[in-house]
Amino acid sequence: MGLDVEAAVARILSVDDLDERALVVGRLEESLHPDDLDGQSAIRAAWRDEIAARVDQVVNGDAGLVDAEQTYRLVPAELAGIGK
């Protein structure tokens, strides 16, 4: 019996929890590149740790946040200073 792909996709899209849906996407992606699982898994884990640390900084009030207008002013100056 073949898999009804459209039904499978609809079922996954019906999952409200985005973390659970992301888990499915990650597993599917890993299945497409089975020879590179170790390298990609390590990279994903490092990014998850980095993102979690940054979220914690924001939630705990340890991050210095700026509004969009200030960011638009700061970014060109930062980019101009690269390589000098």
Q: What is the pLDDT of residues 8-18, one digit of tens each?
A: 999 999 999 98
Instruction: Report the alpha-carbon distance of residue 47 to residue 51 in Å, rounded.
Output: 6
Nearest to 9 by CA among 19, 26, 21: 21
Domain boundaries along the sequence of the chain: 1-32, 36-84
Q: What is the pLDDT of residues 23-55, one digit of tens each?
A: 898 888 878 877 765 667 778 888 889 999 999
| 52 residue type, one letter | A
pLDDT given at position 42: 78
User: What is this structure's pTM?
Assistant: 0.44
Sign (positive/negative) of CA torsion 30, 34, 36, 41? positive
| 62 residue type, one letter | D
Token look-up 């990014």 returns: 47
